[in-house]
Structures are given as structure tokens and as C-alpha cells.
């Protein structure tokens, strides 16, 4: 779903917004041109409910939808499923939305009709139907409901309430100053409650942003009741749609894992990140990062640092900053476990109680660089370098000992032992170590092998260290030669200790990677 362009109509006008359209506009004839970033991944499915209008009316409406010009209420006349179309009020990637009148119940409704290019694609039709079905199964006051759905020849549609209000983005833009901590916390608690309900129902929104939150007008005329809109990109938690095989969402609000190519599973924690971006925007008037397209989002979300909201508003509390930054962790495992956990922490903030969120520490940043950054590859190349360097160091040390002491009695007898040790132990061990480093470079998921090599490297480091603190050595070649022993094993022991640590870090990262792919 692409981000809607900022509506040019003044937010002070009495605006009536349609929910669940990809682009919700003011209740006027003005239309925003869009390019759809929606990605379709489902197979086709069965038909909707029976048709209720004539084929002639259906064809006329479809031609009107397909026309490039802006259609006003006078230009579009027709009925769909017992609903009289009044005017177009929104147009997005999957459908076009009209203000309509329910002739049976005598009320205004919003009706979304699938675009012609959607109708001609069975996969797209399935996606359009999924949007309606996903919303229809959610019965929550903070999520818009579905009244009806149907199909008339090539016209697929569904019907929703026609709500009066203003998008959160426009509402925030109309404020004279960013929201206070208390106001932002109270508003986010309501939004998080609706998102949590969707997660408990097995639905991930994937495109949470201010333009998909309607500040519904209350009976007193205040815009204080947030309603979550537009489930056009939603996915079930057990669905193949909830992966990163294709990037979908809005660049400024998607989570880092949504901007990663590959078959990576999207979870409810992706929505937590988007909630964090909106909370940040409520408090500061800006988003943490500002990519203009998906190419920039891929780079910025994984490499650009995020400033705490206190940089924009120094008077914000440390607790609120910690809550924001916990939502915005690049590693999903370090975000809140659920939207309800975020809401609970915000409630603790309101009540003046200690919060659970903590500022990111050194180990957290280290873990992220291993998992998402280039540190694992750096460690992998380092392991390979250690093995080649130590092999060369030990070989040169042995040659120098042989050169200086070749006439010493008994040294010749130790040569077969040394050659056997090099061929049977040293070379295979270094080759296996180098292979483990190569696996880290390749982002392996085989954590068991890396953990095994880490343990072997640690044992080998201990064995080599004993040569420094005992009278004997593992090889007769070095016996009685203190300087040579010290020079050789003082380098080998720490090097393999470092290798053990790097392989352990690689094993931990591989374990996390294997768990994420399940």
C-alpha cells in the first residue's frame, strides 16, 4: 500500500472520510492520483454473494471506474446491491470508494468497488475479498466494521459505515504543537487496543500509519475516538502473505524486517514498530526516519541511527523515550511482546509507576549488528584469518627451531611426530575452523556446528595455554626451548580463545536465524 499524498484541502473544513480505502479523502470531488504498491500473493477463490443489479448498470459503472477523468456525483449514476451511488470519495490500489445511500435502511454508507485491473486478476480478486473478510471478522469499537459484500457480474464490492472525522495525520498537522505525553499515551492506548484485538484474531495489519487511523467525531463534536482503517495489506499470522518475498507497506512506517528481501516471516511485532513510529510522531511532529521510497527505506531502516524523541523535545521524560525506543528496536525480539504490553507500559507511565521499557544497551546493539548488520561476516573472515595466520605462525616457528637446533641430539627423532601432528591434527583443525568462518559469512542457520567448533576452539586454546605454564609441551620439538615456546603459544592460545568467542557469537546468531525461519 502506498502512502497517501497529503490532502490539499484545509483540515479545518468539515471533512467526511471513508474508511478502508487505500486513500481516504475529504468529502469533496478532489482526487489524488496514486501508484499501487500492493503485492498480491493469494490464489483465486469462490464467488461472493448473488448479484442484485442489472448487467447494464454494472457495465456502465465499470466503465466509469476505468475512465481516467474525475467522476462527480452528476457523472456517476447507478445502483449496486441496493445501494445508490452518490459520488467518488476515495481511490486506491485495490478499489474505488463511493459515498452511497442504503435504500433499505435509509442511511449513508461507503461502498468500495474493486478496480477493473483487480477484477481481471483472480489473485487480486481474492486479495480484495480477503480485505473484506478480514475486516468483517473483527468486532471491535476501534476497528471499522463491514455491513455487506457482494458481486454483480464484474463488480466486486463491500459496504462499510460512512464515518465523519479526520485522519490522524491531518489532525496532528492541524495542532499548534505536538501532543503532550499524557494525550499521546491515552490516544496510543486506544489504538494499541484495537491492534491487539486484530492480532488476537490472527490478523497483522502491515500498514499502520496516521492516514489509516481515523479520528472519529464524537457526539460532542470532538475528534477523540481513533478507528483503525484499511486492511488492504493485512495478512493472517499463518499465511504466506506475511513474508518479505515482496515488500509492502509505507516507507516511513514499515518495520525493518518489512524492508528486507527474502522469505522472512512478518509477525505482529512489525505492527508494534509502526505504532512506535506513530507515537514518536505524536510527540515530536516528525517520524524517526524519513525515507521517501522503498529503496531509501531498505538503507535507512538498517543503517541509519534513530534519535530519541528527546532530541526534538528535551522536556520529554526518560520513561516516554524508553517506551518509544523499545517499539522502534530493529530486532523484533527486543520490542514489546504485544500491543497490549505497549498499552500497559503507557498506562504505567500515566499513573506514575515504573515502566518495563529500558534504553538499549551495548549487548543489544551488539546482537543487532550480528543478526542484521555485517558483524557476523566480519567475524567469519576473522576466523578464517586466524586459522591461516596461526598455521603460518606455528610452521615458521617450527622451521626456525629446526634451523637453530638441528644438531641437537634427539631433535631428528621428534620430526616424524611433528609431521604426523601437523597432518592429522593441525591441518584438519584449521580447515574445519576456516569452514566454520565461511559458514558465518554465508549466514548459516547450522548453529550446532558453530557451537561445536566454538567448544573445540576453547579446548584447544586451553591446551595450548598449558604449554606456557608447564615444564613440558605437547610437542617434543619445543621441549626445553622457553623462548620459542613462549613466542609460539603466547599467540596461539589467545587467538583460539578469540576464535571460540566469535564462533559462539556466530552460533547464537545462527540459532536466532533458524528460529526466525520456522
Task: Give binding residues for ATP as ranges.
Answer: 112
- What phi and psi, each to the nearest 5 degrees, are found at residue 343? -60, -40
146: its cell numbers: 463491514
Binding-site residue positions: 112
- Partnered with residue 265 across adjacent β-strands are 243
**Largest pairwise CA distance in the chain:** 111
Task: Please identify every residue annotated as catalytic.
Answer: 207
What does the block give as the cell for 282?
A: 505524536
Grid coordinates standing for 103?
435504500
Three state DSSP letters for 287-338: CCCCCCCHHHHHHHHHHCCCCCHHHCCCCCCHHHHHHHHHHCCCCHHHCCCC
Is the Cβ–Cβ distance between 437 and 384 less than 8 Å?
yes
H or E element in which residue 360 lies? none
List alpha helices for 328-446, DSSP H: 339-350, 362-371, 375-405, 411-421, 427-441
Number of H helices, E strands in the chain: 15, 11
CB 21 within 8 A of CB 207: no
Beta-carbon contacts of residue 51 (< 8 Å; ≥ 6 apart): 58, 81, 150, 151, 152, 153
DSSP 476: G
Q: What is the rounded distance in angstroms from the CA atom of residue 218 to the CA atom of residue 223?
A: 6
Number of neighbouring beta carbons within 10 Å of residue 133: 17
Q: Which of 359, 323, 345 is nearest to 189 (CA)?
A: 345
Asked if 188 and 210 count as a contact pair (C-beta separation under 8 A), the reply is no
Query: How far out from the chain centre does Cα 219 lie?
Result: 37
**Which residue shows C-alpha cell 476505468?**
66
The helix (H) or strand (E) run that includes residue 499 is helix 482-516
Q: Round to whole Å and give the CA distance between 229 and 22.
A: 9
Amino acid at each position: 500500500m502506498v502512502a497517501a499524498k497529503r490532502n490539499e484541502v484545509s483540515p479545518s473544513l468539515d471533512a467526511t472520510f471513508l474508511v478502508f480505502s487505500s486513500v481516504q479523502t475529504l468529502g469533496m470531488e478532489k482526487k489524488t492520483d496514486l501508484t499501487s504498491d500492493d503485492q498480491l500473493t493469494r490464489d483465486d477463490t469462490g464467488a461472493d454473494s448473488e448479484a442484485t443489479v442489472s448487467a447494464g448498470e454494472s457495465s456502465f459503472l465499470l466503465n466509469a471506474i476505468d475512465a481516467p477523468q474525475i467522476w462527480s456525483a452528476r457523472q456517476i449514476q447507478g445502483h449496486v446491491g441496493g445501494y445508490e451511488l452518490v459520488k467518488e470519495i476515495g481511490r486506491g490500489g485495490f478499489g474505488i470508494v463511493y459515498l452511497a445511500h442504503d435504500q433499505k435502511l435509509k442511511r449513508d454508507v461507503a461502498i468500495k468497488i474493486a478496480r477493473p485491473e483487480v477484477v481481471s486478476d483472480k489473485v487480486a480478486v481474492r486479495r480484495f475479498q480477503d480485505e473484506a473478510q478480514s475486516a468483517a471478522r473483527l468486532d471491535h469499537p476501534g476497528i471499522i466494521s463491514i455491513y455487506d459484500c457482494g458481486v454483480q457480474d464484474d463488480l466486486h464490492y463491500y459496504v462499510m459505515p460512512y464515518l465523519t472525522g479526520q485522519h490522524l495525520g491531518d489532525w496532528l498537522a492541524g495542532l499548534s504543537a505536538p501532543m503532550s505525553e499524557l494525550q499521546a499515551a491515552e490516544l496510543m492506548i486506544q489504538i494499541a487496543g484495537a491492534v491487539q484485538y486484530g492480532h488476537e484474531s490472527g490478523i497483522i495489519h502491515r500498514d499502520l500509519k496516521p492516514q489509516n487511523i481515523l479520528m472519529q467525531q464524537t457526539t460532542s463534536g470532538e475528534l477523540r475516538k481513533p478507528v483503525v482503517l484499511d486492511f488492504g495489506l493485512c495478512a493472517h499470522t499463518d499465511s504466506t502473505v506475511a513474508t518479505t518475498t515482496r515488500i509492502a507497506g509505507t516507507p516511513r512506517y514499515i518495520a525493518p524486517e518489512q524492508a528486507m528481501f527474502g522469505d522472512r516471516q512478518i509477525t505482529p511485532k512489525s505492527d508494534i514498530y509502526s505504532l512506535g513510529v506513530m507515537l514518536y510522531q505524536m510527540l515530536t511532529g516528525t517520524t524517526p526516519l524519513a525515507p521517501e521510497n522503498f529503496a531509501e527505506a531498505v538503507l535507512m531502516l538498517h543503517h541509519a541511527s534513530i534519535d530519541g524523541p528527546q532530541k526534538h523535545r528535551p522536556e520529554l521524560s526518560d520513561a516516554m523515550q524508553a517506551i518509544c525506543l523499545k517499539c522502534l528496536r530493529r530486532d523484533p525480539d527486543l520490542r514489546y511482546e504485544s500491543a497490549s504490553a505497549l498499552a500497559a507500559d503507557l498506562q504505567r507511565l500515566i499513573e506514575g509507576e515504573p515502566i518495563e521499557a529500558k534504553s538499549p544497551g551495548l549487548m543489544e546493539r551488539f546482537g543487532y549488528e550480528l543478526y542484521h548488520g555485517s558483524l557476523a561476516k566480519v567475524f567469519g573472515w576473522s576466523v578464517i584469518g586466524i586459522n591461516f595466520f596461526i598455521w603460518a605462525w606455528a610452521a615458521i616457528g617450527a622451521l626456525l627451531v629446526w634451523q637453530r637446533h638441528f644438531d641437537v641430539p634427539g631433535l631428528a627423532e621428534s620430526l616424524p611426530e611433528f609431521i604426523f601432528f601437523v597432518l592429522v591434527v593441525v591441518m584438519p583443525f584449521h580447515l574445519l575452523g576456516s569452514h566454520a568462518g565461511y559458514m558465518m559469512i554465508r549466514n548459516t542457520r547450522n548453529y550446532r556446528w558453530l557451537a561445536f567448533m566454538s567448544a573445540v576452539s576453547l579446548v584447544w586454546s586451553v591446551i595450548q595455554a598449558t604449554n606456557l605454564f608447564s615444564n613440558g609441551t605437547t610437542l617434543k620439538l619445543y621441549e626445553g626451548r622457553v623462548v620459542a615456546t613462549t613466542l609460539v603459544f603466547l599467540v596461539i592460545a589467545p587467538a583460539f580463545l578469540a576464535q571460540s568467542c566469535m564462533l559462539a557469537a556466530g552460533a547464537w546468531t545462527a540459532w536466532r536465524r533458524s528460529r526466525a525461519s520456522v
